[in-house]
Amino acid sequence: MEIIKLIPACKDYLWGGTKLKTEYNKKTDLEKLAETWEISVHRDGASLVDGKDCTLNEYLDNNPGYLGTACPDGLPILAKLIDSAQSLSIQVHPGEEYAQKYENDHGKTESWFVVSSEPGSFIYFGVNREVTRVELKKAIEDNTILDYLNKIYVKPGDFILIEAGTIHAIGEGLLICEVQQNSNVTYRMYDYDRKDANGNKRQLHVDKALDVSIMKPIEGAVGTVDPEKTTPMIDCDLFTTEYFVAKGCSDSLTDETSFTGFIFLDGCGTIAFKEKCYDYRKGDTFMVPAENGVVKVTGNGKAIKIRIKQSKEAA
Ligand SMILES: [Zn+2]
């Protein structure tokens, strides 16, 4: 099996900016580009495989074993780039059980890596005091929900794990690389009374949001990488992420447990696996199959590297 380059699905949500087009080489006719779904088989937006004229879903169907033994049920993650010219809605995602029962989709734990930020950029991460369902509902109705949220200022190189049930939002002026469970279930709690291009407010899902929200502060978990050094970041039940620095020529070993995803955020050079070699530049995404081998990356690239973990039952 061979290394493949991916072409993302593009989303023009109302809060999006243009940096993914102007700085990260994304091609789209959309005016605003809020998100690019870089590694995705989701029904709401699947990636395409460069040079193969097929979706990632079709490619994986034709290449059994590509994802590895840790992925018996298909690709379990979705990886995106997100450009928030404006703040995202205050939102929460359900866990696996609730999502299966009510949404016919998966739960969503997500992780963020801050690629770039405007001065003063922040995220909301959980509540800042213990609250009841009744208090939180009233705060949403009174437009005072922001007073109850834990606001964290972030800078490039910061990373954080957001477990399902954590109330959160990406503030304005951030470019984020998100790796999450393969799900598109978002319960919007508050949207700053904004209207979309057609003058409509976006739907809120307050009751479902309150059903799944964690009502206590969550111990802060913002880590920071050394910009010049490969650094492990997220290690959750499902996946691991690493901040990867190429530094001239770097080898990464691969094996049959998981594919390896590379999302390049800076630099340029080449990435090779077995006979196949690609040039890369910032914004490019590649997948390497789950086979014993070596990925060789040259140049001054900086990337987010993603692998799936073997579940405890299967191990
Ligand atoms: Zn979210």
Tell me the pTM.
Answer: 0.94
Output the CA torsion sign for 116, 118, 119, 124.
negative
Structurally, how many domains does the chain consist of?
A: 2
For 53, the token pair is 């004229």
| Residues 206 and 255 grouped into a single domain | no
| Residues 235 and 218 grouped into a single domain | no
Q: Is residue 314 part of a domain?
A: no
The conformational region for residue 173 under phi > 0 = left, psi -120 to 50 = alpha, else beta, is left
| Residues 124 and 196 grouped into a single domain | yes
pLDDT computed for residue 183 by the predictor = 87
Q: Is residue 292 part of a domain?
A: yes
| Residues 91 and 14 grouped into a single domain | yes
Which residue, of 183, 204, 224, is where some domain finishes? 224
As a whole number of angstroms, the distance between CA 258 and CA 240 comes to 11
| Residues 134 and 268 grouped into a single domain | no
Which residue, of 171, 202, 224, is where some domain finishes? 224
Which helix (H) or strand (E) element contains residue 103?
helix 96-103
Give me ligand 1 centre to Cα 163, in Å: 10
Residue 279: give the domain boundaries: 231-308
| Residues 153 and 296 grouped into a single domain | no
| Residues 174 and 31 grouped into a single domain | yes
Going by C-alpha positions, the residue among 39, 40, 31, 38 that lies closest to residue 13 is 31
CATH number at residue 281: 2.60.120.10
As a whole number of angstroms, the distance between CA 99 and CA 212 comes to 10
Give me ligand 1 centre to Cα 64, in Å: 31
pLDDT computed for residue 248 by the predictor = 87
pLDDT computed for residue 313 by the predictor = 59
Among residues 43, 188, 281, 307, the one annotated as catalytic is: 188
What are the beta bridge partners of residue 298?
249
As a whole number of angstroms, the distance between CA 161 and CA 220 comes to 10
Which residue, of 174, 204, 224, is where some domain finishes? 224
pLDDT computed for residue 315 by the predictor = 47
pLDDT computed for residue 199 by the predictor = 87
Going by C-alpha positions, the residue among 20, 226, 220 that lies closest to residue 125 is 220
Going by C-alpha positions, the residue among 82, 281, 301 that lies closest to residue 178 is 82
| Residues 122 and 199 grouped into a single domain | yes
Listed as ranges, residues in the chain with pLDDT below 70 are 220, 312-315
| Residues 252 and 212 grouped into a single domain | no
Give me ligand 1 centre to Cα 91, in Å: 6
Give me ligand 1 centre to Cα 167, in Å: 8
As a whole number of angstroms, the distance between CA 3 and CA 276 comes to 7
The residue behind tokens 């801050």 is 114
Q: Give 2-39 pLDDT, tens digit per residue.
A: 999 999 999 999 899 999 999 999 999 999 999 999 99
Question: Catalytic annotation on 188?
Answer: yes
As a whole number of angstroms, the distance between CA 93 and CA 205 comes to 11
Q: Is 195 exposed, middle or buried (0-12, 13-18, 19+ CB in 10 A)?
A: exposed
| Residues 11 and 151 grouped into a single domain | yes
The residue behind tokens 């790796």 is 179
pLDDT computed for residue 197 by the predictor = 77
Which of 146-179 are b and which e, b meaning 16 or more Cβ less than 10 Å from the residue's Cβ?
eebbbebebebbbbbbbbbbbbbbbbbbbbbbbb
DSSP helix/strand/coil, 44: coil
Give me ligand 1 centre to Cα 81, in Å: 13
| Residues 173 and 208 grouped into a single domain | yes
Output the CA torsion sign for 89, 160, 43, 262.
positive
The residue behind tokens 């390049």 is 264
Q: Is residue 173 part of a domain?
A: yes
pLDDT computed for residue 98 by the predictor = 96
For 175, the token pair is 């470019």
Give me ligand 1 centre to Cα 111, in Å: 9
Q: Is residue 313 part of a domain?
A: no
pLDDT computed for residue 90 by the predictor = 96
Task: Sheet containing 276-281: give its strands across.
Answer: 248-254, 293-299, 268-273, 276-281
Give me ligand 1 centre to Cα 278, in Å: 32
| Residues 115 and 254 grouped into a single domain | no
